[in-house]
């Protein structure tokens, strides 16, 4: 039996017209109101200062894309296992997209891709208490109904509407609940299972696994093959008949 039913998630969803960033808004709420129920989500129709990974900007088109954040309070969760949260969120989103008939892959470490194009980005920000994660703020941006993109990202980005067969408009609030449901199902299941099965599941869904393709390594374009991701979240690739491991800053996909 799962704690986070659809009803629970709907009751704990706050939909706002415009915020700077749903991650920042939720952080602000958490610093003022205590306690806020776990998995309380903030969804915004528009973000004026959406944030991406590595300090980048996350641009969205008002009312066309889904932007939301929610809070988790993992129990006895050492920060050394923070990659687990990453895997949980990626796998939950991938499962959720499957319910919309979409076959997505996880681009290590935490992007969701369909047909070589990014469809979803994730920004997880953790607050620590000693060696444990006390609060995790999970922010998700999904390209849902957008059908054209600025030149700078066209060809690298896609949306649910573009990838679906029906091309129907997607209801963003329903999508938000659907993704929260699948993410929290993985979250609860993985708390009961061992870390290995989560890692195996994540590895099975990796974008470009087992394919020789171009990467940027030490600033040089290099052909390499992804072998696996380990429990610390490091990527193992085969380069020149040798296995090398990298963290997120050390290798870039050339797509």
Quick one: which of 9, 39, 45, 50 contacts ligand BTN (CB under 6 A)?
A: 50
Cβ(158)–Cβ(143) below 8 Å? yes
x-or-dash string of contact with ligand BTN, 8-37, rule CB under 6 A: -------------xxx--------------
- Give the end-to-end CA distance of the chain in Å, rounded to a whole number: 41
H-helix segments, 142-228 = 160-163, 172-192, 195-204
Residues 67-96 that bind ligand BTN (CB under 6 A): 67-69
Residues 91-150 that bind ligand BTN (CB under 6 A): 111, 121-123, 139-141
Residue with Cβ nearer ligand BTN (155 or 210): 155
Per-residue DSSP letter, 5: -
Stretch of 48-56, 101-109, 202-210, 233-241 lying at the interface with ligand BTN (CB under 6 A): 48-56
Cα gap 244→160, rounded to integer Å? 34
Residue with Cβ nearer ligand BTN (57 or 222): 57
Q: Is the CA virtual torsion 184, 188, 191, 196 positive or negative? A: negative
Q: How far is the CB of 64 from ligand BTN (least distance, A)?
A: 13
- Range list of β-strands (E), 98-249: 105-107, 111-114, 117-129, 132-142, 212-217, 220-229, 235-239, 242-246
Going from the C-alpha of 33 to that of each of 8, 29, 105, 185, 206, the distances in angstroms are 19, 6, 37, 26, 38
Cβ(20)–Cβ(48) below 8 Å? yes
Size of the residue set binding ligand BTN (CB under 6 A): 20
Residue with Cβ nearer ligand BTN (19 or 133): 19
Residue with Cβ nearer ligand BTN (67 or 181): 67
Q: How far is the CB of 197 from ligand BTN (least distance, A)?
A: 26
Residue with Cβ nearer ligand BTN (35 or 55): 55
Residue with Cβ nearer ligand BTN (74 or 139): 139
Binding residues vs ligand BTN (CB under 6 A): 21-23, 47, 50-53, 56, 58, 67-69, 111, 121-123, 139-141
């Amino acid at each position: 039996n799962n704690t986070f039913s659809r009803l629970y998630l709907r009751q704990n969803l706050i939909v706002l017209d415009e915020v700077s960033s749903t991650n920042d808004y939720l952080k602000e709420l958490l610093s003022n109101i205590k306690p806020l129920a776990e998995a309380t989500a903030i969804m915004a129709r528009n973000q004026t200062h959406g944030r991406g990974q590595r300090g980048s900007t996350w641009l969205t088109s008002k009312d066309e894309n889904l932007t939301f954040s929610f809070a988790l309070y993992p129990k006895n969760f050492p920060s050394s296992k923070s990659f687990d949260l990453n895997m949980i969120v990626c796998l939950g989103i991938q499962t959720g997209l499957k319910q919309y008939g979409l076959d997505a892959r996880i681009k290590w470490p935490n992007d969701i891709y369909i047909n070589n194009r990014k469809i979803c980005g994730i920004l997880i920000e953790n607050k620590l208490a000693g060696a444990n994660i006390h609060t995790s703020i999970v922010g998700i941006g999904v390209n849902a109904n957008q059908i054209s993109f600025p030149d700078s990202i066209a060809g690298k980005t896609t949306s649910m509407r573009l990838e679906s067969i029906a091309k129907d408009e997607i209801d963003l609030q329903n999508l938000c609940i659907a993704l929260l449901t699948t993410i929290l199902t993985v979250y609860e299941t993985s708390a009961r299972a061992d870390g290995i099965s989560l890692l195996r599941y994540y590895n099975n869904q990796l974008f470009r696994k087992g394919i020789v393709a171009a990467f940027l390594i030490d600033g040089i374009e290099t052909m390499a093959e992804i072998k696996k991701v380990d429990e610390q979240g490091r990527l193992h690739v085969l380069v020149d008949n040798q296995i090398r491991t990298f963290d997120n800053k050390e290798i870039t996909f050339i797509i």
